[in-house]
Amino acid sequence: MDELAEKIRVASEQLDPARFLELLRWHRVVAGLPELDWSQPGVYKRAVDELTPERAAELLRDVRRTARDPRGHRHGADGKPQFRQGRTLRNRFN
C-alpha cells in the first residue's frame, strides 16, 4: 500500500490541491469512511492509507485522468459533460 500511496502522492502534485481533495473526499465517501479534519498534519497520507487497495487504485486512476484532462470530468446539473459557457450537448444541438 505504501507504494500505491507514493504513486498517488506523485500524481496528485500535478493537480490543484482543492481538486485532489475533492477526489480524495469523494473516494472516502464512496468507501463509507468518516470525514477527517483536513487541517491536521499528515491527514492526506492517513486518508489514502485508510482506503482499500482497490479504492486507492481507483483514486490513482482518477487523479491521473484528471491531471491529463482537468475539465473532462465535470458534469452539469443534467449529467451531461459541460462545454464552454456551460453549454451541454443537449442545448447545443437544440
Which pLDDT belongs to residue 47?
A: 93
Whole-model pTM? Answer: 0.72
Read off the pLDDT of residues 39-59 as tens digits, 9 standing for 90 and up: 999 999 999 999 999 999 999
- Please give the pLDDT value at position 81: 52
Burial tier of 12 (Cβ tally within 10 Å: 0-12, 13-18, 19+): buried
Give the span between the Cα atoms of 40 and 19, in whole angstroms: 18
Check whether 70 has a pLDDT greater than 90.
no
Q: Which of 26, 29, 14, 2 is nearest to 63 (CA)?
A: 14
**Could you state, in order of their start, the residue ranges of all structural domains in the chain?**
2-89
